[in-house]
Amino acid sequence: MSRRKMEKKIRAIEEEGCKYNQIKKPTNVLFNIFLAVLSLICVIPFIFVIIISITDEESLTMNGYRFIPEKLSLYAYEYIISAGENILKSYGVTILVTVLGTLIGLLLTGTYAYTLSRKNYAYRKFFTTVITIPMLFSGGMIANYLIVTKVMMLKDTIWALILPLCLNSFNIIVLRTFFKTSIPDAVVESAKIDGASEWRLFFQIVIPMALPGLATIGLFLTLGYWNDWFNAMMYMDNKDMIPLQYLLIQIESSIDWLANNKATMGVDGIAVAANMPKETIKMAIVVISTLPIIFAYPFFQRYFVNGLTVGAVKE
């Protein structure tokens, strides 16, 4: 067969493959409409929460929830910000705990999971059993409290908010599976032949290849630390060390208590309770606690995309 005929045949095969891989225009339009509706279903509730948070409390009571409020008001946010230094301190504590906890959690989870993913590790079955037991059995709240406060002496320290959440059996198992399926043995063996140590192999070769998996676990850790308030309730008596979520829960609890007990506080108590935002402040709390974490998603998404093209094995 001549070269020209061979090229024509290859071109025909490629065109036929492209034809089968293409999506018809009507189908593409339907897919776009479906995804647009799905996106709106996800976004509209949060937009509605923002609108309610900037609605006047009296207007909300009279007219109910509306997408276009009759009267706007930022009083709910002003009421929360009136806490002043407490809000700023709580934001600082939450950001510090989230950043440190995510970094420490990724380091511990990544090294543990990578070790378990190596077939030549002698104690792989033993340490797999060790992380499986906490998924089935728990020591209970009292045991956790005694260990953190009496044994580790972490009460009223920043580490009481970080260490209990930094290592999770589920995250280790997910990342171990990712390492086993995504890190070829050929890459590891070639690096060892070239003289790379285990630490250099992990930080310079494995981590760049495992960015999608690490980004996923990092997102889990970030959400867990940002939304955590239970550990603060358990281990924190120092008001300067209270994270944002627990402070917002305290504010909401105080408002509910004043609203339910205004009759027992006399005329002044009734006047204070009447001027307090009740529904709008709940929505404002949702907005304040949610908006910062939304900005973390583009950061992790960047690594999801970039990590997919890193570390291919050449044959």
Predicted confidence (pLDDT) per residue in 14-26, tens digit: 555 555 556 678 8
Unique residue bearing structure tokens 């935002």: 277
**What pLDDT is recorded for position 53?**
85
What are the start and end residues of each CATH 1.10.3720.10 domain in the chain?
84-276
Lowest mean pLDDT among 43-52, 85-94, 155-164, 274-283: 274-283
Is the pLDDT at 180 greater than 90? The verdict is: no
Lowest mean pLDDT among 91-95, 129-133, 296-300: 296-300
Lowest mean pLDDT among 29-43, 130-144, 185-199, 256-270: 256-270
Instruction: Give backbone dihedrals phi and psi of 153, rounded to 5 degrees, phi first.
Output: 55, 50
Question: H/E/C letters for each residue in 36-64?
Answer: HHHHHHHHHHHHHHHHHHCECHHHHHHHC
Q: What separation in angstroms does the CA of 199 have from each of 107, 124, 191, 204, 311?
A: 12, 18, 11, 8, 17
Cα–Cα distance, 241 to 10 (Å, whole number)? 68
Strands (E) located in 226-309: none
Cβ atoms 51, 69 nearer than 8 A: yes
**What pLDDT is recorded for position 143?**
85
In eight-state DSSP terms, residue 145 is H
Range 187-194 contact pairs with CB under 8 angstroms and sequence separation of 24 or more: 187/311, 187/313, 188/118
* Band (273; pLDDT cuts 50, 70, 90): low
Is the pLDDT at 305 greater than 60? The verdict is: no
Cβ atoms 69, 55 nearer than 8 A: yes
* Band (162; pLDDT cuts 50, 70, 90): very high
* Band (309; pLDDT cuts 50, 70, 90): very low
Is the pLDDT at 179 greater than 60? The verdict is: yes
Q: What is the CATH number of domain 84-276?
A: 1.10.3720.10
Cα–Cα distance, 160 to 149 (Å, whole number)? 8
Strands (E) located in 11-117: none
Tell me the mean pLDDT in the region 261-273. Answer: 57
265, two tokens: 């506080």
The residues, any chain, with a CB within 8 Å of residue 254's CB and separated by 6 or more, are none
* Band (104; pLDDT cuts 50, 70, 90): very high
